[in-house]
Amino acid sequence: MAGAMSIPFNGEGVRKSLEVFEEEMNRTVVQLKTTTKPGDGLYYRFFCKWDKGLQAIARHKGLIGENDSAFLGRLQPEVLEKFPEATRAGLDFEVGHGLAKVWTFTGVRPIEELFDIPSVPDSVRAHAGFFARHGLRRVFFVASDFQSETMNVYPIVEEECRNEEWLRRLVAESGGSPAGAPDCAVMIDSLATTACLGMTFSWRDPDLHRWALYNLNVTDGGRSEIAPELPSRLDDFHGKAPTLNANPQVNVAWSFGRAGFYTKLEKCYAKDANYFLTARKNIDMTR
């Protein structure tokens, strides 16, 4: 697939990651992802709820560089220490780069509780007022992004926020542009009962770099009447990405930021992320 999409592919690196995490790839939820962002890659990831120290294994096996940011390396251990119900949640790889993200399930909790974790960027704390203005009260995931050296925060979209006016205000205040994006009302109407944002922060500056609105269970890969039409690149990816599932789960995310708008698509290759999120994480995924 990478060749057909003109995406750089490091076969040796991919094989090594599959060998190191063979057990996880064989037993857990596996997804594929790509985006419409120019120059972006092809990702493969797995989700799990195990006690095994996946980040430590990746570092020991040379999948994380020794010179990577100390803050990135400390984030997951500090979250696990701070929140007893937090768990390791999986890893994300890019076919040309290698390890991209380490995910941590925080438990559903007030977003301000992240502020007490030392390795969380100051830029997250600086957006306390932004979170409050836009009703972003609770968080349930974080990620350490080793590819871009940033942190991702995943707030839940509360019921009172699920409207067109809220989405337009969020786009306007964060410096993004709706140019090229689907209609706000259509995006809101297509969301599953539990929707979330994925927000990108850095240790290098005080800005909110990007945020994405995640539609976490698109009916028939975005082809339903209630979901926006997929861009041609993602529609092609959806049709050609391999899967072992008869009816694979598909997630779509619409990403906004000062650098412009783009769309992401995630497709399950093995097992179903719905089971991981509902049975293992107690999250409501119905519409």
Question: Of the segments 11-20, 59-68, 178-187, 209-218, which one has the largest average pLDDT value?
Answer: 11-20
Q: Is 116 exposed, middle or buried (0-12, 13-18, 19+ CB in 10 A)?
A: exposed
pLDDT at 284: 61
How far is the C-alpha of 66 from the C-alpha of 59, rounded, in Å? 8
How far is the C-alpha of 218 from the C-alpha of 226, rounded, in Å? 9
Strand 195-202 to 87-94 pairing: unpaired
Confidence check: pLDDT of 40 > 90: yes
List the domain boundaries for the chain: 11-280
Q: For the residues 14-37, what does the mean pLDDT come to?
A: 96
> Which residue in the block uniquely carries the two structure tokens 């890969």?
221
**Span 94-148, pLDDT tens digits:** 999 999 999 999 999 999 999 999 999 999 999 999 999 999 999 999 999 999 9
On whether the CB atoms of residues 144 and 101 are closer than 8 A, the answer is: yes
Confidence check: pLDDT of 53 > 90: yes
**Span 218-237, pLDDT tens digits:** 755 444 455 678 899 999 99
- Poorest-confidence range of 25-29, 245-249, 273-277? 273-277
- Residue 47 bridge partners (DSSP): 29, 90
Which has the closest alpha carbon to 232: 255, 201, 265, 206? Answer: 265
- Indicate the pLDDT class of residue 43, thresholds 50, 70 and 90: very high
Q: For the residues 48-60, what does the mean pLDDT come to?
A: 91
3-state secondary structure of 53: coil
Strand 195-202 to 138-145 pairing: unpaired
Beta-strand (E) ranges in the chain? Answer: 29-35, 43-47, 87-94, 98-110, 138-145, 150-157, 195-202, 208-215, 250-257, 262-270
In this structure, is the dihedral angle defined by the CA atoms of residues 20, 89, 265 and 124, taken in order, positive or negative?
Answer: negative
Predicted model pTM:
0.93
pLDDT at 279: 63
Residues of the chain above pLDDT 90, percent: 74
Give the list of residues 6+ apart from residue 12 with CB closer than 8 angstroms, or none.
Answer: none
pLDDT at 67: 57
On whether the CB atoms of residues 195 and 162 are closer than 8 A, the answer is: yes
How far is the C-alpha of 242 from the C-alpha of 150, rounded, in Å? 30
pLDDT at 277: 66
Confidence check: pLDDT of 281 > 70: no
Residue 121: other Cβ atoms inside 10 A: 20
What average pLDDT does the chain have?
A: 90
Give the list of residues 6+ apart from residue 247 with CB closer than 8 angstroms, or none.
Answer: none
On whether the CB atoms of residues 198 and 150 are closer than 8 A, the answer is: no
pLDDT at 278: 65
pLDDT at 177: 76
Tokens standing for residue 224: 């339903």
